[in-house]
Chains A and B, each alone.
Chain A
């Protein structure tokens, strides 16, 4: 589904991603781990189309379609969703109005009519219950004054509403308490299906206990330096990154 080939990207003169190769098939869950500053968020932003970053080499395609040709909204319309490491506050736009606009713009781009108001309400109710989000919350300005954990939960609520083909979760687990982690993991697992894929960026193996990854990759200094199965996450949690750095330098 997602195919990244020899991706180089950076900002001004600084190269951050230095040749990433990654293939994610429909139905799979991948996790990316790696030390601070390795380029994990940059990779997710480049997939989502943030134009701050310049792609100097390589390709990204989604179901064979060149993503680099599309702007961020068009990528979203194709089913790319990014749960932000730091969700942005948007004062004056309520959660409900935002998600309605988001859903209907996506439908419009895909040649569909607006979602009927009743169906929208129903869906909002269902998904907010799934993520145990209080009604009052939905009429507040998006992310404004939300706690760290509330912001993350709200990201997953939006994901549940949009049902993206490819969900990228950038440190969605950071800042969540133990109960919230379980709730969010449940939300992600509900989305799992044969035609969807999830890419989880995390520092901790805890979330991966709830959402079992098929592959775990280590991103270090702009490259994927190691790939394994779920047990790799455990090993990293235990031993840290030094042994990997040694392997590379050897």
Chain B
């Protein structure tokens, strides 16, 4: 049976396990209809021109893995940023792991969406925010239809959260193929600050497809700093759909570090609803073998006097392929917009490819918009220079790549995340440099 049919026919079973007499369920069933109509994306869609999901959709996924899997912390410690104190919301095969988690209801709520759906305390937040910014394209509709579990984070106004929050989804691969659809809802009240780290990690060689939706609402004058670490197994794929709604005077940044996985598709969408907003979208992508990463960004400038900064760096080796599609829309009312987009790529191997496409739709007349895209090779002269100074070729290449990604790493504000990223890059490039840039 095709995956689409399988999903549709299993819906009755899904409904047995959720409250079907709720507003949320109305949203779900509507989304199911949307998905039924839209189906999975194909290359015929402009937005999916360079990424085909065919090779991963043919797996026979189990869609409600229900074995209880326990994992020892020691086994998975390395996937956490473990050298800092943090809140943790951890899922194993889509199920909450209280053992690995460290949640709270003290002033802030760092807990589960499933409990937010049922507890009256969270009713208003769910009503006001759930599915309010996610736009219902193919994959998002599919996620919404089955939305039942994920991270729920609510930060009341004026709270500066004392430590970062980690959202980690493990896939054990206890079935031969598993589909996971986490749904995260993050609401940051006025003048509140939060830092979040998200990671999806497969623990086996079995096929995993994660289709995750994250909605982030930044109320006035709030500050959200979000890090996505993607360094998954070669049989694990992810479609990440993230939607950020920013009210006035907010600063939101999302850093995406893509170092692994089979097919990685990042749909990152920012909506600037208020004035004096700053949106920061940054990424470092380092791939080899046959890995594929597709960054699809959208910054929608709706209100005037806002800024957006995009800086994506990509390094492609082997037969890897990369896509960067950065769309900026500036509404007629969004005067004095300052939108900046930069995408630089290095092809280390001549078998690697990159498709880069900026898309600007500007309806206001008083805007500053700049975009630049480069695709090049590592600088041979620089490599010789470094070798002449005693730095072996492999290390010289790594140093050049580090240097190349440095503008992105520079703005990482959690030092432990930064040094972890540095380590991952070093690991990825198979070198050991005695310092962090």
Contacts and interface: CB of A to CB of B under 8 A. Distances in A.
Interface residues of A, number: 33
Interface of A: 48-50, 71-73, 75-77, 81-82, 84, 87-93, 97-98, 100-106, 109, 114, 141, 158, 162
Interface in B380-415: 381-382, 384-393, 395-396, 399-400, 402-404, 406-407
Nearest to A48: B388
A101 B391 contact: yes
B437 A97 contact: yes
B361 interface: no
Contacts, number: 80
Interface string B138-158: 000000000000000000000
A105 B385 contact: no
A91 B403 contact: yes
Contacts of A114: 434
Contact of A101 (B381, B407, B433): B433
Given A90-B386, A101-B434, 11 more contacts: A48-B388, A71-B392, A72-B388, A76-B388, A88-B385, A93-B402, A93-B437, A101-B395, A102-B391, A141-B403, A162-B389
Given A93-B437, A100-B435, A76 B390 contact: yes
27 contacts: A49-B388, A71-B392, A72-B387, A73-B390, A73-B393, A73-B396, A75-B388, A76-B388, A76-B389, A77-B390, A88-B381, A88-B382, A88-B384, A90-B382, A90-B385, A90-B386, A92-B402, A92-B403, A97-B435, A100-B434, A101-B395, A102-B386, A102-B389, A105-B390, A105-B391, A109-B392, A158-B389
Contact of B407 (A87, A88, A92, A102): A92
Most buried by A among B385, B392, B433: B385
Given A90-B382, A90-B386, A114-B434, A101 B399 contact: yes
B387 A84 contact: no
B406 A92 contact: yes
Contacts of B386: 90, 98, 102
Where chain A touches its partner, the secondary structure class is helix
B379 interface: yes
A53 to B, nearest CB: 11
Contacts of B434: 100-101, 104, 114
A76 B385 CA distance: 11
Most buried by B among A50, A73, A77, A158: A73
B387 A76 contact: yes
Nearest to A103: B390
B379 to A, nearest CB: 7
A158 B407 CA distance: 25
A102 B390 contact: yes
B390 A162 contact: yes
A185 B406 CA distance: 35
Contact of A72 (B379, B384, B400, B437): B384
Contacts of B396: 73
Interface in B411-430: none
3 nearest A-B pairs in the assembled complex, by CB-CB distance: A92-B403, A72-B387, A76-B390
Given A93-B437, A97-B435, A109-B390, A50 B384 contact: yes
Nearest to A74: B392
A197 B382 CA distance: 26
A82 B388 contact: yes
Contacts of A84: 385, 388
Interface in B144-185: none
A163 to B, nearest CB: 12
Contacts of B384: 50, 72, 88
A89 B403 CA distance: 12
Contacts of A89: 382
A101 B437 CA distance: 11
A49 B392 CA distance: 13
B389 A90 contact: no
Interface in B247-267: none
A92 B437 contact: yes
Most buried by B among A75, A92, A98, A158: A92
Contacts of A81: 388
Contacts of B391: 73, 101-102, 105
A146 to B, nearest CB: 14
A92 B311 CA distance: 15
A102 B399 CA distance: 11
B385 A101 contact: no
B116 to A, nearest CB: 43
A92 B284 CA distance: 15
B346 to A, nearest CB: 12
